[in-house]
Amino acid sequence: MQQLLHTPEGVRDYYNGECAAKLVTGSKLAHVFGLYGFQSIQTPTFEYFDIFNAERGSVASKEMYKFFDRDGETMVLRPDFTPSIARCAAKYFGQEKLPIRLCYQGNIYINNLSYQGRLKESTQAGAELIGDDSLAADAEMLAMVVDCLKSVGLTEFQVEVGQVDFFNGLMEEAGLAEDQIRELRSLIESKNRFGVELMLNELSLSEDLIAAISALPRLFGSAEQVFPEARRLTENPLALAAVTRLEKIYELMKAYGMDKYISFDLGMLGNYRYYTGIIFKGYTYGTGDCIVTGGRYDNLMAQFGKDAPSIGFGIAVDTLMSALMRQKICVPVEDGGILLVYEKEHLERAIRLAGSYRIAGIRVSMMEDLDDAECMIRYAKENHISEILILDMAADAVRTVWKREAI
């Protein structure tokens, strides 16, 4: 019987104030999406395996939750929203020439094999801007990330921005095999400087190229620190074009008045291989994981039949909630409504009275009189009730016995 009360590893329950705070947080994020003109979309919780297979560059197959339907087709619980949104956009907006703005909230399912304690079912809220490859689109998405994080009460956070074409340019010049690039990419992404140097020492590359690649794990910081160093390290046209684009995006972030939230990391390459340009992650203190991941994926849509450059991001809502709690940032859950207390023999009168309150738009909870004021007040506080009323039949009225103090 005791086992029936437990949840499997990697999933959890949300209840009472924590659940209410999570819903409020989701609502605040959705409001910001709306302010930027994004329209909500819902995709299925499970889809065909082909939507997320290795060609898409999404989550590794071994980390997906897979099952078979009655026809023997392999299904997958959604591990990543971006391929789902890409499929949906190609299906319903295939002929649309103008940019498409879509936003979403829902759960993703990843069997994290290498991370003990990480949630395997988690809530994500995000947005995708499809059909726009402009600098303005990149900057707008970064600005929306900043506004989202500010909307839930965060003040101390940083959005680190990278550009995978800087790495791609160096790899183009190095002429390495795909397996070597994958290994080097993993070492750089994990900031394993020693591993990078060890691998490069075994390759026949020029000293300048080795120096440039070796610098990637430490090539992060402010614009003033990163851009001059990046230009000093290489003359590769693709890599320099990546730096130029970041410089222009940074100028636009100044126009938004948000440059203080932006830093740069040219060693950030991301876990998803569909990223093609700008890539970014959001961090705050109180959690070891990033709270935002995003980037440009200009080639993914073409795999679903719609050639459209795109950029998007996802906010890890559960991780965000954890950070808010540890930073002691209170998510304002609205107090309201009344607790109507009645004696057992007057239930019908209480039902009619509660109905009249609800018609007027007032939230009402009903409770039989427990003859325990302290217990009822505790219940009201825990359930964000503003006032306790007792149905007094002797006086043919209701009277207030407790009212939440205004903060």
Confidence grade of residue 114 (pLDDT, cut at 50, 70, 90): low
Cα separation values, 168 from 17, 93, 277, 328, 381, Å: 47, 31, 10, 41, 56
Confidence grade of residue 1 (pLDDT, cut at 50, 70, 90): low
pLDDT value of position 46: 97
**Residue 62 counted as domain residue:** yes
**Residue 357 counted as domain residue:** yes
Confidence grade of residue 31 (pLDDT, cut at 50, 70, 90): very high
The residue from 266, 296, 326 where one domain ends is 326
**Residue 192 counted as domain residue:** yes
The answer to whether residues 191 and 290 belong to one domain is yes
pLDDT value of position 52: 93
List, for residues 252-275, the tens digit of each pLDDT value. 999 999 999 999 999 999 888 889
The answer to whether residues 46 and 189 belong to one domain is yes
List, for residues 121-137, the tens digit of each pLDDT value. 999 999 999 999 999 99
The answer to whether residues 364 and 299 belong to one domain is no
Range of the domain at 388: 338-403
158 is in an annotated binding site: no
Asked if 65 and 34 count as a contact pair (C-beta separation under 8 A), the reply is no
Confidence grade of residue 57 (pLDDT, cut at 50, 70, 90): confident
The residue from 326, 349, 376 where one domain ends is 326
**Residue 67 counted as domain residue:** yes
274 is in an annotated binding site: yes
Better-scored residue on pLDDT, 407 or 160: 160
319 is in an annotated binding site: no
What are the tokens at 297? 């994926």
**Residue 363 counted as domain residue:** yes
Distance CA 386, CA 335 (A): 6
CA angle 381, 382, 388 (to 5 degrees): 40
Distance CA 188, CA 21 (A): 37
Domain count, the chain: 2
The answer to whether residues 13 and 69 belong to one domain is yes
The answer to whether residues 302 and 392 belong to one domain is no
The alpha-helical segments, DSSP class H, found in 257-372 are 317-326, 347-359
Across the chain, what does the average pLDDT equal?
Answer: 93
Count the helices and strands in the chain (H runs, E runs). Answer: 12, 16
List, for residues 370-396, the tens digit of each pLDDT value. 889 899 999 998 888 999 999 988 777
109 is in an annotated binding site: no
Q: Which amino acid is at 144?
A: M
Is a pLDDT exceeding 80 seen at residue 116? Answer: no
Q: Which residues of 330-349 are buried (b: 16+ CB within 10 A; e: fewer)?
A: ebebeeebbbbbbeeeeeee
Q: Could you say which DSSP state residue 166 is in?
A: H
pLDDT value of position 38: 98
**Residue 332 counted as domain residue:** no
Distance CA 240, CA 248 (A): 13
pLDDT value of position 125: 99
What average pLDDT does range 165-170 have in this prediction? 96
The answer to whether residues 353 and 296 belong to one domain is no
Place of tokens 């319903």: 92
Is a pLDDT exceeding 60 seen at residue 407? Answer: no
pLDDT value of position 207: 92
The answer to whether residues 357 and 314 belong to one domain is no
Distance CA 289, CA 26 (A): 19
Distance CA 379, CA 177 (A): 65
**Residue 331 counted as domain residue:** no
Single pTM value for the model: 0.92
The answer to whether residues 161 and 306 belong to one domain is yes
The residue from 301, 326, 351 where one domain ends is 326
128 is in an annotated binding site: yes
Measure the CA dihedral 248/253/259/262, to 10°.
Answer: -70
pLDDT value of position 335: 74
The answer to whether residues 19 and 53 belong to one domain is yes
The answer to whether residues 58 and 108 belong to one domain is yes
- Write the Ramachandran bin of 16: left for phi over 0, alpha for psi from -120 to 50, otherwise beta: left
What are the tokens at 207? 């000293």
Residue % of the chain over a pLDDT of 90: 83
Cα separation values, 258 from 150, 255, 326, Å: 11, 8, 24
Which CATH number is 149's domain given? 3.30.930.10
CA atoms within 13 A on the CB side of 343: 7
Asked if 399 and 389 count as a contact pair (C-beta separation under 8 A), the reply is yes
Place of tokens 């679903």: 304
The answer to whether residues 119 and 173 belong to one domain is yes
Return the SS3 of 286.
coil
The answer to whether residues 10 and 124 belong to one domain is yes
Which CATH number is 350's domain given? 3.40.50.800
**Residue 193 counted as domain residue:** yes
